[in-house]
Chains A and B, each alone.
Chain A
Amino acid sequence: MLEVESILGALDMLFSSPLPWLIVIPGLLIGLVFGAIPGLQISMAMAVFLPITLYLDFMLAMLFLTAIFTGGAFGGSIPAILMNIPGTSSAIATTFDGYPMSRRGEHNIALGVALGASCIGVILGYAILFLLISPISEFVLKVGPAEMTAIALWGVTVIGALSSERLLKGVISGLAGLLIATIGFSEAGVARGTFGSAYLVDGIPVIPAMIGMFAASELFRLVGLKYLVAEDAARRVSIRQVFAGFRRSLARPWTVLRGSLIGVFVGAVPGVGSSVANLLSYTAAKRSAEDPDSFGQGNSEGVIASESANSTAEAGSIATLLALGIPGGAATAVMLGAFAMHNITGGPQFIREETDVVYAIIIANFGQAVLLIGLGLLVVPLLAHVVKVPMGYLVPSVLVLVTFGSFGLTGDLTGPITVLVFSMIGWAFRRYGYSVPAAVVGLLLGNMTESSLIYSYQISGGQWSYLLERPIAVLILGLLFTSLLGKRVIGLLLRKAGA
C-alpha cells in the first residue's frame, strides 16, 4: 500500500534543496563513462566512488550510487551498438540487433532507441517498484535455489537455441560455457580442470572471458575493413536521427512494458539479475514478433527489448536490496557497502521504519531517468563519431582498451591472457556457427547454477520429489523443454496427423 505521508516526506527530502539533483548529474556521467568503456564495470565505478559517499547522508549516498547504476546501464549499450562489445554483461542482447544496425549505418537511430528504451525502462521499472515493492519482496522469497537453477538452465539453453542457426550447436555452446565456468575449486574442496595451474584455481575470470569472446573475436573479423560502416554517407552523425530513434522506442510501448516487467522480476532474483533479464526480454520480443527472422539482422525492437529489461533490472535488484537486504549482483553489493558505512541494514524493518527514504530513492530515479535523457542526447552524438574512425586505428585501440580493462578486472596478467585465449575461442565459435552469447551466458551463470543445485540437493536430502513441491521450478523447466522442443514436437504430431 502507498503511504501518502511518507511520499510527502520523500518529496520534501528531494525538493527542499538542489543538492540531491546536483549529486545525481555527476553520478550519471560517471556511470555513462564507466559503462561505455569495455572492461570498466559499473560495480567498479561504484566501488571507486564509494568512499566519497561516507561524507554524504544515507539518502544522498544512495542517490549518487543509483545514478551511477542508471548511467552505467545505458552506457553499456554504447559499445554494444557501435563495436559489438557489451560494455556490461547486461548489454549482451543489445549487440544482437544494435551492432547490425550500426553496420547498416543506422548507428544514430540505434543509439537513440537504446537511450529511449533505457530511460523509459527506468521510469517504468521504478513505477512498478513504487507500487509493488511488497509483492516483489514476497516473490523473491519464493525463489529458492531450485528455481534459480531452473532459471539459469532456461536462460542458457533458450539463448543458445535462439542465437545460433543450429539448435544443437547453440545448446552445446551454452553447456560448454556452463562447464568452463565451473573450472577451479569446487564446493567439495577439490580443484578441477586447472591443468595444475595456480592461476586457474579461482576459476576462469568471467568478464575478461566475455570481453574476449565478444569483442576481441569480432575485432579479428573486422581487420580487413576500412570503416565499421561501409558507406560514406551512412557514417554521418545526426542528432535528428538519434531523436528519431528515441521516438521509435516510444512507438513500441508494449515491448518496453514487457521488457520492464521481465526486468523488474528477473532483476529482483539475486545472482540472476540483468544478465539474464535482457536475454529473456529479447527472446520474448522475438517470439511474439510478426517477423522473428528479422531479429539479429538489425531490428530496432530487439534493442528496445534488451535495453528496457536491463535498465529495469536495476529497479528489481534495488527492490531486493531494500526489502530483504540481499544484493542481487556486484553493483548492489557495493550499495550494501554504503548501507554498512551508514550503519543501516536493509530488510522489512528498514522499509517499515524508513519508508520516506525508500520512496525518495524511488522518486529520485524518475528524475534520474529524465536527466539521463538530456545527458544522453548530449553525449551520444559525440560517441557516435566512433564510426568515423578508420578500422586500422579502431581495432588496435579497442584491443588495447580491453587489455587494460581486463587487467583492471583481475589485478594481474590473468585478465589479458584470458582475453587472448577466449578471443580465439570466440573467433572459432563465430566462424563455425556456434553461439557466442550462449557460451558467455553459461560462463556468467555457471557458478551460480552449481551452487544453487548443491543447495537444492542439500535441502531436498537428494529426493527428486522435492521438485514437485516447487511449482515455479517445474513451470520454468517446462518452459525450457517447450522452448527447445515444442516446435519440433508439434511439427512431428502434425506430420503424423497428416499422414
Chain B
Amino acid sequence: MQSRRWMMVAAMGLASLVALSGCKPKKTTTGLGPDGGLLNGGRTNGITDIDMPGGRPPGGALEMAGQYIPVYFEYDSAQVQSAERSKIEAVGDYLKHNSAGGVIIEGHCDERGSREYNLALGERRAMAVRAYLVSLGADGVRIQTKSFGKEKPVALGHDEESWSKNRRGEFVIFK
C-alpha cells in the first residue's frame, strides 16, 4: 500500500487570515448548531502574529504530498531504523538537486497513549528524520517539522497492523 501517489495541495493559509468584520455577538443557546460558534470558518477578528524565527513555507506555497514513501517507526521509538534510511536519502537527493523550497516532515503516532504526549512524540519522530537529512548535508532551514500526534491516522483499525502504519513520518515537498 505504498504506491506513490501525487497530490497537489494549494495552501490555504490566506483563507484563514480573512478578517471577520461583521460578526455580531450571538446569544448563548442550548443545543448544537452546525454554525452556532463564535468563530466561523476559521475567520476571527484581532489575529495578531508574532515573529516566526526560522520561518515557515509562505502562505500560497505549492505543497506536494505522497511523492516520497513515509518512514515508519517502532512502537516505543523515535529513532530512524536503518532499514528506513534509504527513504530519507531519496528526499535528501531531491533537496540537493532542487534549490527552491524544501520539505515538511509530518510526524504521526498510533492511537495508544495521551493525545498531548503523542503530539510531542510525533514531533520527536519528525525531528529525527530532519536530523538525518541534515546529516546528509541538507540545509536545516529548508526542513519544517509538523507533528500531528495521533490526530491523523491513515489506518483506522485498533491492532498492530494499523498501528504500525500510523507510526510514520510523511514528506510534503513545498515550492
Q: Do A and B come from one complex?
A: no
Please give the residue numbers on chain B whose beta carbons come within 8 Å of chain A beta carbons, in ascending order.
none
